[in-house]
Amino acid sequence: MRQLFKKLFNGGAVASRSGIPALPKKAAYREMEYQFKRGFLAREISAELHYEPKKGNELLFLSFLRPKGQNNKKRVKEDSIFLLSEHLLDWGSASKDVEKEIERLSFPEDVKNAVRMVYLKHKDALFEKSSTECKKVHDDTKSTAKEWAIYRDVIFAATQGKLKLIEKDEVQKYEKSDVLYEGMVQKRADIPYNRQEVRKILEQKDINQTKMMNWLLVISEGITNIIKHAEEGRVTLYRCMEKEELYAVIEDKGPGFPLDKLPNMTLFAGYSSKESLGQGFTLMTKMTKQVLLYTSPIGSTVILTFDL
């Protein structure tokens, strides 16, 4: 972050100009840190696209006034640049293969090249983790690896293969399929919105009405739990042509599920605790081909698989 601030301000003072609205007086540190990173990326992307420096600085400032995911129909170019900046931050925090994600974007090649250049220039400063955080993750992973394997095998056997715990690299295998839909989940209103958008996709595929309603029910359950137990998340619908399968990948940035509580949370209908999904996993395993779960202290991913 220190390097980014140096690049931004170059040791000089920032003069205020009349007509520019004041920054919010009350904002959490994490929120402002995110807004700065997003604005910085937006400014850098605009520079790669040969926008005037004045426009780039305006984007940086506007980032502090703009809620995540906001759309302004009158400022389509700004929306696109902010969306790309948000994607970069989301992919980085989720430890995704960012360059592959960029390649999959439905933007012109010059825009994708601009995003790629910005990522390569600033990935170390934007996505670095502290040595203490890295050591903690390493130690936690090492100490729980054997225990995790036991829980994985027990849950897999008890559900007759319907529910499987997976590792991070296994998630990426499912994300290589064709993307049909992607939506952010940040507030309660996003639940019906995403459900309706997914429904439109399923209707285009001529899915049986009863089957479609069951699928929408469990996808909604997964989306709802993002709001209940995490800061925010995302739902992505994929189609695997080879296997004729549909994948609903539901990711969140919550605290994850405690390993010792996973059996109760996943095997007993109605089990309730702050971290649990209640009826969620029981319902999901009944209405899907298989449910896959990746969980960590910085977020979880539920993959619902369906036969087309």
| DSSP-derived secondary structure letter, 177 | S
pTM of the predicted model as reported, rounded to 2 decimal places: 0.56
Residues 294 and 189 in one domain: yes
- Whole-angstrom distance, CA of residue 123 vs CA of residue 80: 20
CB 230 within 8 A of CB 296: no
What integer pLDDT is reported at residue 141 of this predicted model? 53
State whether 65 and 28 are in the same domain: yes
Residues 177 and 287 in one domain: yes
Whether 78 and 12 share a structural domain:
yes
Same domain? For 44 and 149 the reply is: no
Count structural domains, the chain: 2
CA dist., res. 289 & res. 206, Å (int) = 18
Nearest to 118 by CA among 56, 179, 31: 56
Structural domain ending residue among the three candidates 74, 106, 127: 127
User: Does 113 fall in a domain?
Assistant: yes
Contact between residue 181 and residue 201 where contact means Cβ atoms under 8 Å apart: yes
**120 DSSP assignment:** H
In terms of domains, do 56 and 204 share one? Answer: no
Angle at 252 between CA 222 and CA 180, to 5 degrees: 65
Give the domain extent around 226: 138-307
Asked if residue 132 is part of any domain, the answer here is no
- Give the angle 8-14-15 at the CA atoms, nearest 5°: 150
* 28 within domain boundaries: yes
Q: Are residues 268 and 144 in the same domain?
A: yes
Q: What is the CATH number of the domain that holds 274?
A: 3.30.565.10
CA gap 216, 196 in Å, rounded: 9
Give residue 273's pLDDT.
Answer: 45
Q: Are residues 220 and 195 in the same domain?
A: yes
Q: Are residues 179 and 302 in the same domain?
A: yes
**Residue-level pLDDT at 211:** 92
Q: What per-residue confidence (pLDDT) applies to 282?
A: 82
CA–CA separation, 38 vs 50, rounded Å?
Answer: 18
Let me know whether 143 and 283 are in one domain.
Answer: yes
Contact (Cβ atoms closer than 8 angstroms) between residue 308 and residue 244: yes
Residue 133 lies in a domain: no
Q: What is the pLDDT of residue 184?
A: 92
Q: Which positions of the chain have pLDDT values less than 50?
A: 5, 8-20, 130-131, 134, 137, 270-278
Whether 68 and 196 share a structural domain? no
Two structure tokens written together for 173: 């295998």
Phi, psi angles (nearest 5°) of residue 258: -60, 135
Tokens of 175: 């994300």
Q: Is residue 241 part of a domain?
A: yes
Task: Answer yes or no: do 168 and 287 share one domain.
Answer: yes
